[in-house]
Amino acid sequence: MTYTPPYNVWTDGKIKVLLDPGHGNDDRGYIDGLYKTEGESNLAFAKKLKSELEKYGIVVGMTRTTLKEDPSLAKRGQMGKGYDLLLSIHTNAFNGTANGTETYDDTNSKFSNKELATLINNTIVKVLGTKDRGVKYWKLSNGKNYFGVLRNNSAINGMLIEHAFHDNKSDVKKWESNQNKLASELAKSLASYYGLTVTTTPSPTTADINIIGKTSLTKYQMLTYCNSKNTAPKLNTNLDNLIDLYIKEGEVEGVDGAVAFVQAMHETGYFKFGGDVDWKQNNYAGIGATGNGAKGNTFSNPQIGVRAQIQHLKAYASTESLKQECVDPRFKYVTRGTSPTIFGLAGTWAADKDYGTKLLSIYNHTKAVETVDNQPIPEEERLKGRVFVTYDNTVDKVQADRMQAQLGYYPVDLNSPNDLVNADYIIHVGGGTSHSADITLTGVNRLETENKVTEFIKKQKGA
């Protein structure tokens, strides 16, 4: 097989793959084995596959890098923008006896690639020795994907893989004992498809986000995502003004202010601080903080703190001279131009080999802010057509029934996914996980879920 250039080939000529380890740290009935949950299993394999793909110079992103993360389905799909392929990694479950591998290709003809889906599915079956359930397509009545992540896919191609059944002991054994080999063989198959061979160039230098450049995220995206992580940042200014400083100071030195702000969110724990550096120091990137209680440098005000970070990033990313007087006390210690990209900061700015991956994860989450599926629906855009509400227990059914009584929506047991084929729009209420929801109304407890449903009903009724 050879790679057929898609309708919009990226100008940098690099192949980019976004791995989506399905779910988070949820409990989906994973039987006794190496992993406790499907989310843990998916993440472990995605990390192995990422490492193998990078040997071929493929740029690899991930929708999540930790068990705690669980982005919405829409958000995961939208993160695919700029990638050649989105692979959503899952294991299946049914009745304990069902088994095998199946690959769901994107039902949208613009993003579908049955040739590649077949290659992926065949590789998995061959390595794992599982039953071949084939390449499949699951559509709603409106022709859109059943799977929310594929319905919102922005990559050139998108696929969801059910590698094995995690409630079947035989499948679990095959899945867990062959992950390293599968990662290697699947990477080899993908590289062959895209016409790539093993490269001697370390993958971090092929990162797709440069540090030098114009600010690549909007102020709204940065402000909204940071607020979603911490509503009370510890700062000597307000968050709105701080973001303005990153944009302004970045423009002066030609550094992407969004990259710098993403780094600041990571270094400060979304401005909660709590480490060696104190929030009063105006040091948002840990400059001079070497561990063991070393507090690092202190800057006179937020603007100088941001400027020092921007200058420090420019030192790593470029050999160009500074435009302003140097306020970064460690600028002179940097070997200039060694790390022009986000991934390049791993092992240079920070010793953590996953530093670049962590930054890129935060960047992608921030980039997807404006497309999350839980944004309030404007009054003039109330849902129309056949709206289905999924639930997975008797407590949540109460909320689904409320929405049926007040809005005329159709309640559907989450364990009966085939009942959703006639839906124009899908809402999920309460706990559990839905592969199909456009909107999720779930709180940390029953009362919060009930309140979210109440507010949603009010919006839809125009109250």
Q: What would the pLDDT profile of 379-427 be if each residue is shown by its tens digit?
A: 445 677 888 999 888 889 999 999 999 999 999 988 787 778 778 888 9
Looking at residue 12, its pLDDT comes to: 53
CB atoms within 10 A of CB 210: 17
Contacts with 32 (C-beta within 8 Å, 6 or more apart), sequence order: none
Mean per-residue pLDDT over the chain, rounded: 87
Looking at residue 118, its pLDDT comes to: 96
Residue 33 burial class via C-beta count within 10 angstroms: exposed 0-12, middle 13-18, buried 19 and up: middle
Looking at residue 1, its pLDDT comes to: 42
pTM for the predicted model, two decimal places: 0.63
Looking at residue 336, its pLDDT comes to: 93
pLDDT tens-digit series, residues 267-321: 999 999 988 899 999 999 999 987 777 888 999 999 999 999 999 999 999 999 9
- Pairing label, strands 425-429, 387-391: parallel
Looking at residue 201, its pLDDT comes to: 44
What mean pLDDT do residues 78-102 have? 92
Looking at residue 370, its pLDDT comes to: 56
Closest CA to 431 of 21, 25, 22, 26: 26
For residues 441 and 427, what is the distance between their CA atoms, to the nearest angstrom?
Answer: 7
Higher-pLDDT residue of 277 and 434 is 277
Looking at residue 27, its pLDDT comes to: 62
For residues 389 and 400, what is the distance between their CA atoms, to the nearest angstrom?
Answer: 6
What mean pLDDT do residues 431-444 have? 78
Given a cut of 60, is residue 200 above it in pLDDT? no
Looking at residue 432, its pLDDT comes to: 67
Closest CA to 221 of 256, 273, 258, 265: 258
Looking at residue 260, its pLDDT comes to: 97
Given a cut of 80, is residue 337 above it in pLDDT? yes
Looking at residue 283, its pLDDT comes to: 96
CB atoms within 10 A of CB 402: 19
Interior angle at CA 20, CA 441 and CA 175, nearest 5: 110
Looking at residue 381, its pLDDT comes to: 55
For residues 303 and 173, what is the distance between their CA atoms, to the nearest angstrom?
Answer: 56
